[in-house]
Amino acid sequence: MHSDATPYWKRAGIRLIPLLVAVAAIGLSLTDRTSAAQRATKLAPAANAPKAQTAKDSGRAVVRPPSTPPANAASQREEKNGRQQTTQGGTKTNTIARNGLPRRPLPGEAGFTGVPPRGERRFISNEMVFHTGANVSPQAVEAAARRLGLTPLGAQSLTLTGGKLFRFRVGEGRQVADAVRALEAEKLGTVQPNYVYSLQQNVASPPTLPAGDAAQYAVSKLRLRDVHRWSVGKDVSVAVIDSQIDAAHPDLAGALGEQFNAVGKAEKPDNHGTGMAGAIVAHGNLLGVAPGARILAVNAFSPDQQNSAQATTQHVLAGIDWAIEKGARIINMSFAGPYDPMLQLALKKAHEKSIVLIAAAGNAGPRSQPLYPAADENVIAVTAIDANNRLLPQANQGPYIALAAPGVSVLEPAANAGYQLTSGTSVAAAHVSGVAALIIERKPDIDFAALEKILFSTAKDLGPKGRDSQFGFGLVDPYRALDALADKVAADHSQSPTAAAATSAAMTVSETFRVSQLAPGGAPIPAPRSTEPEGDDVHASVEKKRLACRQEGASKGMRGPDLQDYVVICVAEARLACLKQAVAQKVRGAERRNFLNSCLGS
């Protein structure tokens, strides 16, 4: 009988080795899965956040664009660069702006640098701009410039951001990025390249259609004839930062207010600037969206021998600063270009003053990187559609697109009293600026957030349900926007009798204007009024009656200006009926006020 000389404990150990290896492998697998799940949880917010689209220009093309990487790679890089990794408390945050793009640090914030990104060439090749606060002396700036071999080209004070903006020439053979980095190390202020924004007029041959309403599909698409019974944007100041506008054009007669030349030299009237102004205020052969508005003309774009009209950071900042000093409520920016830190800061300051900022989304195509100022979170970005609601093929796309407006083959004024057919997101942005002016005329104290909410909530959805990267919230609808505004005003007045009394006089003026549209021969028909003074209680009763009349008209299917006219007539008839009763019953003096209050409130 054979006996095994190997000890039992050795034989048992050998048999246990495969089992121990299997258990270890299972343990490692479970550990890896747990770690992967934790990593996925941390990355989920970034993965689910809207990606930055890639995007070239507005109604005109940006010069020397960098090569466009694949859309996904661009999105990931934008998000990585825009994410603020640490806060003061040391915790990591993923900061996405409200327009869906990564939020970039502002000048002065942690992580900010004015050095241009690698591959960015859209700036003057031998210039840079430098912004200092009021606490930095000119002597300190001059000393730093001498040490670094920079040649001063000019300086200007900026009210909006405070301090001064200097422009320097960089020495021959030296890279702008290196010069920016060197001056940044001096820690005297914010420095960056002098970025370039370009305009390109997308105009077909001069129109063969007669200049007039029939050739303007935007008039019917935006229902401007009905809208203008309600509001014309009267005396609302709209700054147009563009090329030189033809102030002598008959369609713009009397519509231009003050003018500012940011370029510093005389320029000939240009088609682009003239067309944008016409889209807003034309009132001759053509009809603009807000023919009663007042244009603050900023000539910031100057043509050169190789390119169409261009502007730099310096020109645009000077234009914005001047426009706000002159009381602009809206700033139309029908141009596009690279990300610009100083422009970002200026737009933030303007937004804080409740200035409505509107810009062309760009015409660089759906795979282009985001273009600015439209891609700034404080700006309403506008894309272009045609008469059949089809998107302009060249239009930029991305989560920052907010609204769409007519912008394909649009008939507008041109330089030298001419006319043009133009396409691009430039003219679409001008149309939305006009709609904003209509709203501000009706409610001058409206803030940006409320105006934006009305524009977005009343837009006609054109793409996938809700906001999308092609059309934003959809086609801007001034008719529905003004109707929603009237609902808001009525609701506010019904909740605040004191506010209703304070605005009664203003409402009476607008009532006379609207009813005069219905009167034969245009004669005004003022609402009947008592000769006795009225107290707050009567005003409150009038507002209560106005709200009841509005609900009654709405139940009959009336909307927009028709509903407003119905409300005016309804309230006027009620007041007249109550006044007749008071006269018939010989009610006078203070008793008449009580009588009218009771009668109107019943």
Catalytic residue ranges = 242, 272, 426
Total number of residues shown for the chain: 602
> What is the distance between the terminal CA atoms of the chain, rounded to a whole angstrom?
120
β-bridge mates for residue 164, sequence order: 132, 157
Look up residue 61 and give its amino acid: A
Q: What is the Cα Rg of the chain in Å?
A: 31
**Inter-helix orientation angle 589-601/536-555, to 10°:** 30
Neighbours of 580 (CB within 10 A): 11
Instruction: Tell me how far apart the alpha carbons of residues 485 and 564 are, in angstroms, rounded to a whole number.
Output: 11
Are 401 and 469 contacting, i.e. CB atoms less than 8 angstroms apart?
Answer: yes
Query: b/e per residue, 449-481, with b = 16+ CB within 10 A?
Result: eebbebbbebbeebbeeebbbbbbbbbbbbbbb
For residue 87, the SS3 value is: coil
Closest CA to 428 of 378, 481, 392: 392
Counting Cα atoms < 13 Å in the Cβ hemisphere of 294 gives 14
* Strand pairing class (123-132; 164-169): antiparallel
Sheet holding 256-261, edge to edge: 256-261, 294-299, 237-242, 330-333, 356-360, 380-385, 401-406
CB atoms within 10 A of CB 369: 26
Which amino acid, residue 169? R
Residue 287 three-state SS: strand
Please give the torsion angle defined by the CA atoms of residues 295, 297, 303 and 307, in that order, rounded to the nearest 10 degrees. Answer: -50
**Residue showing tokens 């825009």:** 82
* Residue 571 tokens, joined: 């309230």
CA distances from 161 to 156, 241, 292 (A): 12, 18, 31
CB of 246 closer than 8 Å to CB of 278: no
| Cβ burial, residue 221 (10 Å; 0-12/13-18/19+) | buried
- Strand-pair partners of 156: 165
383 with 471: CB under 8 angstroms?
Answer: yes
One-letter amino acid of 504: S
